[in-house]
């Protein structure tokens, strides 16, 4: 047998350069009796795919027949045949393929290499494409395809690949064809990679239910309190400089290692909230290292040092996420520590390293620094709109370059987070395919992959769908938007005109479909258009008249919940967004629909300002028009029920986004209104809004009904017609030592760096914070008494169409009957402030 096979594999002689599947029609598939379950399944998959390509069924045997050609599947079959294959370090998933005139040999590393080699053979050498779980594309001339002779091998760079879509998780056999190695433990599919996704877990390693009551010092000190019962984001953070916490976590990790012998990394990662510890030790280390990642890296290193002594091959994994994304100045992760770097703040429209994208620059800098400190970098990259899974999302051109960027920077694995807890979301079939292809072979052009998918999957209807994709990506790109994974309607440019264009493309695609099969595929793709019509196809005109504030929708054709709902039911849509089911969303649509909505409102006015408030909704300010220019500086760019200009409690009973208090008018003059409301605990909130010349004055008095702490958040949202991110366009200012300071110089992302944070803190004593939008020629200045406030913040929510100048009054503890007070004034700016001695131009 060995001599026979060697003769086969060495007989090419140069006369032929290729074989055809037709020439293989009498061959047998050889899978050795010693083959693993995945290698036996690989033989079955070769049989299935060859039949789909040619209509011929090749038999599967354990030994090669005496004269016919063979397909050797797996290292045992190849070894028994004596076939020399190119040397390679195949690890778990590397593959080798050799094609000769009378034999094909496919083997690879265990457990998944041979199976992936079969998929590679049909994909790369035969033109087969694994498009969806129920659509494998076979070239129409399958029998006559020329398969080149010779050898090839491939070892995937990423050890962890997860295109996170519900379709992938629901169909593990399909996921295997896409070579997603994170889905199924089934041995026939080669099981999962030993690497696991980093998750929010520190509160589970040190359970508050076990330790909280007796040892609150194990948990983060936040605003002077060890709140071990905190539940948002999964639970409380830990006090990472407490040595007893290290002991507990070491024991927990060792137990995990003992009970999960095949697992490679074990997680020690922050919970999904920003309530990090501010105790003196933690704060000092973070300040010394210039990042809140310092305490986390020091803590994980301490655990890793002890784990290494008994389990030298185990990796300890943690996040570089949110407040820990920035690397510490000097600390480095130990050799057995793995970093999962997260891009949640980044723009999805542009590739991570696109030099034109200001929003992504700091991420690239952070990745470069982390890469110099650690050789085990995994990436958590965001590829969906968590706020609305079904809306159009223009990131298909960025996927490929971003994945290549991660690969080129030594990334070892990538989690492409998309709508993984949902099904049939916006173009999920297309996106799943594109992501998987790019993860398997970094460097692929995601736009070309998308074009190929559309042409093969939508067939005769592909033209209009591709035209839509080009139109929409170009539209958002030209607009200067930088949509993130929480993109809004304004950021996505979903105006009535845009929606009309999108609907027209899909209507054309449907009309071209010549079969029920293609028509269904197109209708599924059109879900994003119908969803866009529900929100972007409605314009809201807000106005005050006859003592009422009116929000009147102007709908366009196709903006019907009925038509959208029927399509969702047909294609099994399960989730509207990350935290809202399809059923919940449709119920809310049925309740609200597109009906005009009106609220009783109160107006005050002088020669400079007209201000309108809705008492029954937290005393919300809904109009603040500067009459000399006619500009309403709090124009609602989002649906009305998302719009806020109000004060919220962050501790205890009182007005909040989810606790709407109805205020009553207790005093009203042409230039002043006083609103009052009781909370459930008897605390009374009294808010005065008054006009004095060019200022709008807000004064709040709070009288405690019971002994309670009082923490308030002043949350004004100012209109931002132009969604600018450049600080030279959208500039923030504070007063430092009696002079204006440009607070966001070089500030290109949502959150400031430590130097800018220091400027903001120093500016608190100046009692004023301001912004100016150069592109639209206006700004806002807020003046306040520094003794009443502990923080002032500039929040440029450009993607949401507004900018916040937030104020945090000093937290106090009151006895029943005691009062607290704070106030601030708003002024309109027609020119930017000056800073230092020069005007900021």
Give the pLDDT confidence of 331-361 residue by residue, as tens digits: 999 999 999 999 999 999 999 999 888 889 9
Better-predicted residue by pLDDT, 184 or 639: 184
Q: Is the pLDDT of residue 695 over 90?
A: yes
Q: How confident is the model at residue 228, as a pLDDT?
A: 95
Q: Is the pLDDT of residue 412 over 80?
A: yes
How crowded is residue 293: how many other Cβ atoms within 10 Å of its Cβ? Answer: 27
Q: Is the pLDDT of residue 537 over 60?
A: no
Q: Is the pLDDT of residue 558 over 60?
A: no
Strand order across the 739-742 sheet:
664-669, 672-678, 684-692, 695-703, 819-829, 778-784, 768-773, 730-736, 739-742
Q: What share of the chain is helix, strand, coil (3-state, %, to 5)?
A: 35, 25, 40
Label residue 125 by pLDDT band (50, 70, 90). very high
Better-predicted residue by pLDDT, 836 or 675: 675
- Of 520, 533, 510, 343, the closest CA to residue 429 belongs to 520
Q: How confident is the model at residue 538, as a pLDDT?
A: 58
How crowded is residue 28: how many other Cβ atoms within 10 Å of its Cβ? Answer: 18
Q: Is the pLDDT of residue 574 over 70?
A: yes
Label residue 561 by pLDDT band (50, 70, 90). confident
Percent of the chain with pLDDT over 90: 76
> How is 182-203 classified by DSSP, letter by letter?
TS---GGGT---S-------HH
Question: According to the 3-state scheme, what is the secondary structure of 340-351?
Answer: EEECCCCCCCCC
| 718 close to 771: Cβ distance less than 8 angstroms | yes
Q: How confident is the model at residue 241, as a pLDDT?
A: 98
List, in sequence order, every residue forming a beta bridge with 731; answer none if it has no partner.
772
Q: Is the pLDDT of residue 637 over 80?
A: no
Rounded to the nearest integer, the mean pLDDT of the chain is: 91
Q: How confident is the model at residue 12, as a pLDDT?
A: 39
Q: How confident is the model at residue 210, as a pLDDT?
A: 97
The separation between the first and the last C-alpha atoms of the chain, rounded to the nearest angstrom, is 83
Nearest-5° Cα angle at 506, 503 to 509: 155
Q: Which residues contact 162 (CB under 8 A, 6 or more apart)?
A: 168, 180, 182, 183, 197, 414, 415, 416, 439
Strand ranges in 627-777 using DSSP code E only, listed in sequence order = 631-632, 646-651, 664-669, 672-678, 684-692, 695-703, 708-715, 717-719, 730-736, 739-742, 768-773
Q: Is the pLDDT of residue 837 over 50?
A: no
Nearest-5° Cα angle at 233, 231 to 237: 75
Nearest-5° Cα angle at 134, 128 to 139: 25
Report which listed range, 5-9, 458-462, 738-742, is most confident. Answer: 458-462
Better-predicted residue by pLDDT, 703 or 798: 703
Q: Is the pLDDT of residue 518 over 90?
A: yes
Q: Which residues contact 660 (CB under 8 A, 6 or more apart)?
A: 616, 617, 618
706, HSE (Cβ side, Cα atoms, 13 Å): 9
Label residue 745 by pLDDT band (50, 70, 90). confident
Q: Which of 76-80, 290-294, 408-412, 724-728 has the lowest mean pLDDT?
A: 724-728
Q: Which residues contact 411 (CB under 8 A, 6 or more apart)?
A: 157, 158, 377, 378, 379
CA-to-CA distance for 21 and 2, rounded, in angstroms?
A: 24
3-state secondary structure at position 628: coil
Better-predicted residue by pLDDT, 655 or 301: 301
> How is 415-433 classified by DSSP, letter by letter?
EEESSTT-SS-TTHHHHHH
Q: Is the pLDDT of residue 838 over 50?
A: no
- Of 197, 190, 268, 188, the closest CA to residue 420 belongs to 197
Q: Is the pLDDT of residue 510 over 80?
A: yes
Q: How confident is the model at residue 689, as a pLDDT?
A: 97
pTM across the whole model: 0.80
- Of 832, 840, 759, 773, the closest CA to residue 803 belongs to 773
Q: How confident is the model at residue 62, as a pLDDT?
A: 94
pLDDT in tens, 241-269: 999 999 999 999 999 999 999 999 999 99
Q: What is the set of domains in the chain, with CATH numbers?
A: 2-154 (3.30.379.10), 202-477 (3.20.20), 487-599 (no CATH), 605-839 (2.70.98.10)
Q: Is the pLDDT of residue 239 over 70?
A: yes
CA dihedral 648, 654, 659, 663 (to 10 degrees): -90
Label residue 652 by pLDDT band (50, 70, 90). confident
What values do phi and psi take at 685, rounded to 5?
Answer: -110, 125
CA-to-CA distance for 311 and 307, rounded, in angstroms?
A: 6
Label residue 591 by pLDDT band (50, 70, 90). low
CA-to-CA distance for 266 and 233, rounded, in angstroms?
A: 20
CA-to-CA distance for 221 and 399, rounded, in angstroms?
A: 40
pLDDT (mean) for 619-631: 95
How crowded is residue 765: how many other Cβ atoms within 10 Å of its Cβ? Answer: 12
Burial class (CB in 10 A: 0-12, 13-18, 19+), 815: exposed
CA-to-CA distance for 404 and 825, rounded, in angstroms?
A: 50
Q: Which residues contact 574 (CB under 8 A, 6 or more apart)?
A: 166, 422, 423, 424, 581, 582
3-state secondary structure at position 386: coil
Determine the angle formed by the axes of helices 428-440 and 516-525, rounding to 10 degrees: 80
| 410 close to 157: Cβ distance less than 8 angstroms | no
CA-to-CA distance for 699 and 713, rounded, in angstroms?
A: 14
Tokens of 567: 């399509």
Label residue 68 by pLDDT band (50, 70, 90). confident
Strand ranges in 359-471 using DSSP code E only, listed in sequence order = 377-382, 411-417
Q: Is the pLDDT of residue 840 over 50?
A: no
Q: How confident is the model at residue 836, as a pLDDT?
A: 44
Helices within 20-123 (DSSP H only): 37-54, 75-81, 113-120
| 359 close to 748: Cβ distance less than 8 angstroms | yes
pLDDT (mean) for 152-173: 96
pLDDT (mean) for 704-725: 86
């Amino acid at each position: 047998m060995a001599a026979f096979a060697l003769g086969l594999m060495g007989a090419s002689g140069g006369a032929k350069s290729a074989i055809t599947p037709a020439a293989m029609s009498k061959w047998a598939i050889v899978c050795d009796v010693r083959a693993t379950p995945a290698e036996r399944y690989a033989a079955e998959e070769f049989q299935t795919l060859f039949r789909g390509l040619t209509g011929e069924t090749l038999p599967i045997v354990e030994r090669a027949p005496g004269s016919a050609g063979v397909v050797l599947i797996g290292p045992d079959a190849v070894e028994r045949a004596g076939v020399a294959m190119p040397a390679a370090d195949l690890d778990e998933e590397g593959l080798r393929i050799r094609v000769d005139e009378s034999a094909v040999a496919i083997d690879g590393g265990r457990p998944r290499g041979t199976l992936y080699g079969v998929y590679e053979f049909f994909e790369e050498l035969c033109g087969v494409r694994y498009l969806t779980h129920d659509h494998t594309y076979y070239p129409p001339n399958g029998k006559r395809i020329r398969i080149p002779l010779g050898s090839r091998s491939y070892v995937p760079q990423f050890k962890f690949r997860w295109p996170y879509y519900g379709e992938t998780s629901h169909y593990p056999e399909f996921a295997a064809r896409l070579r997603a190695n994170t889905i199924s433990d089934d041995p026939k599919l080669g099981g999962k990679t030993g690497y696991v996704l980093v998750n929010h877990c520190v509160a589970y390693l040190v359970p508050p239910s076990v330790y909280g009551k007796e040892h609150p010092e194990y948990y983060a000190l936040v605003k002077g309190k060890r709140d071990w019962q905190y539940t948002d984001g999964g639970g409380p953070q830990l006090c990472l400089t407490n040595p007893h916490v290290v002991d507990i976590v070491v024991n927990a990790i060792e137990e995990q290692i003992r009970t999960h012998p095949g697992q490679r990394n074990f997680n020690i990662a922050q919970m999904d909230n920003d309530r990090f510890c501010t105790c003196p030790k933690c704060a000092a280390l973070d300040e010394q290292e210039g990042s809140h990642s310092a305490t986390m890296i020091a803590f994980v290193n301490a655990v890793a040092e002890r784990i290494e002594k008994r389990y030298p091959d185990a990796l300890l994994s943690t996040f570089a996420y949110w407040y820990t994304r920035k690397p510490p100045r000097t600390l480095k992760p130990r050799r057995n520590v793995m970093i999962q770097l997260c891009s949640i703040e980044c723009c999805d429209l542009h590739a991570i390293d696109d030099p034109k994208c200001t929003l992504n620059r700091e991420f690239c800098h952070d990745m470069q620094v982390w890469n110099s400190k650690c050789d085990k970098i995994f990436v958590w990259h965001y590829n969906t709109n968590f706020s609305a899974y079904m809306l159009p999302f223009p990131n298909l051109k960025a996927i490929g370059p971003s994945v290549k960027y991660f690969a080129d920077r030594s990334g070892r694995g990538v989690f492409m987070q998309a709508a993984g807890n949902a099904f049939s979301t916006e173009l999920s079939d297309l996106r799943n395919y594109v992501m998987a292809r790019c993860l398997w072979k970094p460097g692929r052009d995601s736009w070309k992959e998308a074009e190929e998918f559309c042409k093969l999957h939508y067939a005769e209807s592909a033209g209009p769908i591709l035209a839509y994709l080009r139109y929409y990506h170009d539209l958002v790109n030209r607009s200067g938007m930088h949509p993130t994974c929480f993109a809004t309607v304004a950021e996505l440019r979903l105006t009535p005109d845009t929606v009309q264009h999108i609907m027209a493309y899909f209507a054309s695609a449907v009309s071209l479909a010549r079969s029920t099969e293609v028509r269904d595929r197109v209708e599924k793709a059109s879900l994003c258009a119908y969803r866009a019509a529900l929100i972007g196809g409605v314009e809201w005109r807000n106005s005050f008249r006859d003592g009422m504030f009116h929000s009147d929708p102007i709908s366009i054709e196709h903006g019907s919940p009925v038509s959208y709902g029927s399509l969702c039911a047909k294609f099994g849509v399960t989730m509207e967004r990350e935290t809202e089911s399809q059923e919940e969303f449709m119920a809310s649509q049925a309740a609200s629909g597109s009906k005009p909505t009106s609220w009783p409102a109160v107006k005050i006015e002088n020669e400079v300002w007209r201000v309108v408030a809705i008492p029954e909704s937290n005393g919300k300010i809904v109009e603040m028009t500067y009459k000399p220019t006619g500009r309403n500086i709090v124009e609602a760019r989002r649906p009305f029920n998302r719009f806020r200009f109000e004060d919220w409690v962050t501790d205890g009973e009182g007005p909040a986004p989810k606790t709407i208090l109805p205020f009553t008018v207790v005093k009203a003059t042409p230039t002043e209104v006083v609103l009052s409301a009781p909370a459930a605990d008897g605390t009374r909130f009294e808010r005065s809004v008054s006009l004095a010349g060019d200022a709008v004055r807000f004064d709040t008095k709070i009288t405690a009904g019971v002994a309670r702490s009082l923490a308030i958040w002043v949350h004004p949202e100012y209109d931002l017609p132009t969604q600018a991110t450049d600080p030279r366009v959208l500039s923030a200012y504070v007063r430092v030592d009696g002079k204006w300071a440009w607070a966001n110089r070089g500030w290109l992302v949502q959150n400031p760096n430590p130097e800018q944070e220091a400027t903001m803190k120093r500016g608190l004593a100046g009692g004023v914070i301001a912004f100016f939008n150069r592109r639209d020629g206006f700004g806002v200045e807020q003046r306040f008494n520094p003794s009443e406030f502990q923080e002032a913040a500039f929040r440029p929510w450009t993607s949401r169409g507004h900018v916040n100048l937030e104020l945090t009054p000093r937290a106090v503890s009151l006895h029943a009957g005691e009062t607290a007070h704070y106030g601030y004034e708003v002024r309109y700016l027609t020119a930017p402030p000056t800073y230092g001695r020069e005007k900021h131009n």
